[in-house]
Every structure is written in C-alpha cells, then in structure tokens.
Amino acid sequence: MRLNWFKISYGFLIFLMSLLLVQYAAQIFAGGHSWKTGDWLINYSDGFIRRGLSGSISITISQILSVNVKWVIFSIQAAIFISFIVLTLREFYQFKESPKSVFLLLSPAFAFMFWVNDPAVAFRKEITIYLALIFILKAFQRSEINFSWYWASLAIFAFSGLSHEITVFFLPFFVFPIFNHFTQKNLGLKPIVKYAAPFIALSISILLTSYLYKGSQQSMDVICASLAPYDLKSDICEGAISWLKYDAKFGVESVIKLGSDVWGNYFFLAVLSMLPILLHRSDNFFQSMIVAGFLSMLPLFIVAVDYGRFISMIYTAIVLVAIWTRPNLIHRIWSVSWLIGCVYCFFWALPNCCKNFPGRGLLGNALFSALKF
C-alpha cells in the first residue's frame, strides 16, 4: 500500500499541536508561564495601559465565574489556538493532490513548527492576529462578501490590538484580501477604501494608545499586586509584564547590543525561511503585498530583539494569504524531492532571539543527541 505522506504530515502536525497544548496545560496547572501567560495577564488595574485588554477581560470573567484567572486565560488561548489550527488545516486540505505543498506548514518558520522548536513562544498574542487574518480572508474568499467573517475579523483585530500593539504591523496582510477581491471585479478604489478604512483607523488608534499609555515601573508593580490572589508562579511578572517599564529607546539599545553576527544570522534565516516563496514567481500584486508586509514589520526589528518571532509572523501571514487567495501558487510551490523537503524542514530551526547561529531542528537535534550519546 502506498503511503499518503500528506495525511501522515497532517497527523504529525495534529499530534505535535496536541502535545503543545497538553504541555502548556501542565504549565498552567503549575502556575502559568512568565511569557505565555504573563503576556495575557497585563490589565488595567493601574488605569488604561497598552496591552491591557486581554488581562482585564480575563480577570472580569474570573471574578464572575469564580474560576482562577489562569484557567480563564488558558481557555481563551486554547480556543484561539485550536480555531487557528483547524481553520488552517481544513483550508489547506484542498492541496492534497499536491502533497509536497505540506512542507509550507512544516517549515520551521511557519507558526506550527516555530512553536514546536521553541515552545516558549507558543500561545503568545499573535495567535489572535492569525485568527483575525483568517477571518478577513474568509470574508472576501467568495464572489459575495461574508459580513459575518468581516465583522468578526474587525472585532478580533480590535481586541488583539488593544492586547498588543504588534497587531498594527500586520495591516498590509489585512488590506490585501480586500484589495484582491475588488481588483478582480474591477470595481475601483472606493469599495477598497470603504472596507479597509476601519482596519486603518483602528491601527492608528492602537498606535496612539500604545504611545500615550506606555506603562511604567509603577504599572508593573500594580499589575503584579493585582495578580497576587490567583495562585500564579512567583516569577509570573518577570517576563512580558516586566517589559512594560521599558520604552522604545531601551529596545533600540538592546538591538544595537546584538551586534553584526546576530543581525547577519537572522538575515540569513529570513532568506532561508522565505526560500520556498522566493523561488516561485507570483503575480505583481502578491509580490507587492510581500514587500509591503516586510516594510510594515521593519520597525519591529529596530525596537525589539525577538527577530525569530517576527520572521515567523511574516512567513505565517504570507502563507495564510496564499492559501486563501493564491491556491495556484501553493499547488506549484514545492517541486523538490521529499528528501530535500525533509532536510529543509527538520534540520534547522528559527531561534526566537539573540542567536548568532541557526537552531538544529527536530531531526537535527535527534541526530546531534544520538552522535553525542
């Protein structure tokens, strides 16, 4: 019987995502994680502040239901995480007749394997952005606009933006499906502006909010004090919450300290990540979106050191847009052998931060451990 590697890959990904969820549930049981949980616990206990919406909503739900806030956070994260995985895999299944296309999802740069290679970056707030992006793609997928998906995307975009300002830098990827939809119909600029304007207005508002309500050491102290009753780990405030006291100047100084070796490594990793897309010529509109996406994300590389995370965000967003708007590109994007595809996907990894060399990947780590033993 001939093996169906496409379905095997699906099963492999589902298994790995399930392991991530179970592992994180164990961390929640033990009191949470300073980055994966702490990021979502930032709240308005010291007044309105950037990134505070998710924590404030979670604490309110916790108080109403008399459930520990860490399980409320976990439930929200798990629902978004599972929805993202299910919607992506269900839509991608249309490419089953082009089985090598699954390497796009197995890439170390796509969210799935990026999380597997570094579980500490899973369940961060960008999962809400991915879900909002899928919703806007579904809204403009057919000839008729699906307004339920459109308004759901806009609502999640607003929630995501008020929970983390990084949402704003995804704007080109949200505008593209709107532009693509009306351009194909030759309906001109007016409907594009009409449906893109709410996302643009929200983005401007979110940026202003994050600038005016940055946070401080006092904010961090008050937020930490507000979390004291919830049986969280003693270091819960030492990750994402602690970074509220830092500003863009500190971020730029941290980037400068990385040095040319680290910058060069992540430039190489960015090119390596985008290789499957760069090697296959797409239409001018799609290429313009890729360029706009990179330019939009560029400020992140200047003010923060999570270079691997940013590269993964760009790659994941490009692949998601391609799945829904450029299926023909997906069908022909992997013409290499299965062996080359496996080497590409499993013998290197995209480290999140501050490394001057690539990671080893799943099989790379296994081989290294075997040789070391």
SS3 267: helix
The amino acid occupying position 150 is Y
Q: Residue 282: what pLDDT?
A: 85
Q: What are the tens digits of pLDDT across the range 225-271?
A: 999 999 999 999 999 999 998 888 999 999 999 999 999 999 999 99
Greatest Cα pair distance, the chain, in angstroms, is: 65
121 class by beta-carbon count within 10 Å (0-12 exposed, 13-18 middle, 19+ buried): buried
Q: Residue 62: what pLDDT?
A: 97
> Which residues make Cβ contacts (< 8 Å) with residue 328, sequence separation at least 6?
none
Q: Residue 188: what pLDDT?
A: 83
Instruction: Using pLDDT thresholds of 50, 70 and 90, give the confidence band for residue 1.
Output: low
Question: How far is C-alpha 299 from the geometric centre of its chain's CA atoms?
Answer: 17
Q: What are the tens digits of pLDDT across the range 77-92?
A: 999 999 999 999 999 9
Cβ(340)–Cβ(106) below 8 Å: no
The pair of structure tokens assigned to 88 is: 């992506």
Instruction: Using pLDDT thresholds of 50, 70 and 90, give the confidence band for residue 307.
Output: very high
For the cut 70, the answer to whether the pLDDT of residue 114 exceeds it is yes
DSSP structural state of residue 349? B
Q: State residue 165 phi and psi, 5-degree precision.
A: -70, -10
Average pLDDT, the chain: 94
What is the mean pLDDT of the segment spanning 334-361? 91
Q: What is the pTM of this model?
A: 0.96
The Cβ-side half-sphere exposure at 264, using a 13 Å CA radius, reads: 5
Helix 171-184 and helix 190-212, axial crossing angle in degrees, nearest 10: 170
What is the mean pLDDT of the segment spanning 216-230? 93
Residue 206, domain extent: 5-372
Q: What are the tens digits of pLDDT across the range 8-51?
A: 999 999 999 999 999 999 999 999 999 999 999 999 999 999 99
The count of domains in the chain is 1
The amino acid occupying position 262 is V
What is the mean pLDDT of the segment spanning 56-67? 97
Nearest C-alpha neighbor of 174 from the set 189, 187, 156, 148:
156
For the cut 70, the answer to whether the pLDDT of residue 318 exceeds it is yes
